[in-house]
Amino acid sequence: MSHTHGGHFFVQKGMDGLGPRGYWLLYETMFRLPGGTVLRSSQIHHSWAMQVAINQRPHDLRKLSYFSICYITQGQGRYFDVNHPQGIPLGAGSLICMFPGQGHVYAPEPGTRWNEINVNFSGEVFNSWVGRNLLDPMQPVRQLEPVDHWFKRIHQIVLPLAKPDRKPTITDTGKFIALISEMCAVWLTPWQDADVQWLEKAQQDLRDWPLREPLDMEHLAHAFGITSQTYRKKFKRLSGMTPTNYHARLIIEQACQRLQHAQLPLKQIADELGFGSEYYFSRRFKQIAGMPPGAYREKAVSG
């Protein structure tokens, strides 16, 4: 298939007598688009995955700086992370969702190997889904069947990227977002109406909060008749992030809109959004958006 679609196929030798595996690197890029990007994809036959590291847990857990999904098409194994020290069984049709900064390790059963296809990705659109009954770090393994269907769906996204000198586009991001949406729809379970209404009101309160003013947790919690500590915990449980982080992302979203206007100086944007200095604005923007504001503006304006 690599001759037909592109990418690079090679055979890797295994350590500790694990035997060779067929590794097809379909696609890899260092270029990141505002919003979201598919960074890398590979298909591995007779994979040993993290068989060596799995014996060193919990001291040797891998942490990524991006999201990653791994779909098992054949074989059995087990997944471990900080929230699941006893492990989660894996088999054909298991989709592992790995989250930035969350330590994890997974591998086939001892003495066996499996087949897998994986995709690494990043972006604000995926960050916003974490904890919202969509991408959930507390449920990192989901079952997607039939296997042939989902294997083909992943191929529909990543095989076009395998062409030589392929650079990611917004269209690629949109297709991958659609794929993740389809996956989420399989395991989506409805929240209680009361929780949905509570979170919608809490998020609206934060959107209405003046951008230049620091958050007053006591005031925000008072609107619900609860303490600030209960407010923080409930907001994080339902949304996957703290009220402070949610508000910070809203501010950066406003910054992104302003950065699309080439004539606005960075210092003016920083002042309008309540940052103490252009330096702090640039640092905070890069933390959340993944690139400096100047680089974001250049891509947004040129695109």
Express as a percent the part of the chain with pLDDT over 70: 92
Bridge partner list, 70: 96, 118
- Sequence letter at residue 54: I
**What is the total residue count of the chain?**
303
pLDDT at 68: 95
Pick the CATH number of 193-302 from 1.10.357.10, 3.40.50.300, 3.40.50.2300, 1.10.10.60: 1.10.10.60
CATH match of 2-187 with 2.60.120.280: yes
- pTM comes to 0.63
Domain residue ranges of the chain, discontinuous segments joined by +: 2-187, 193-302
Question: Environment class of residue 148 by beta-carbon count within 10 Å: exposed (0-12), middle (13-18) or buried (19+)?
Answer: exposed
Q: What is the rounded distance in angstroms from the CA atom of residue 20 to the CA atom of residue 9?
A: 13
Statement: residue 2 has pLDDT above 70: no
Arithmetic mean of pLDDT, 192-211: 84
Statement: residue 303 has pLDDT above 60: no
Express as a percent the part of the chain with pLDDT over 90: 34
Q: How many CA atoms lie within 13 A of 143 on its CB side?
A: 8
Residue whose structure tokens are 């960050």 = 127
Statement: residue 23 has pLDDT above 60: yes
pLDDT at 228: 93
Question: Higher confidence at residue 131 or residue 296?
Answer: 296
Question: pLDDT-based confidence at 193, cuts 50/70/90?
Answer: low
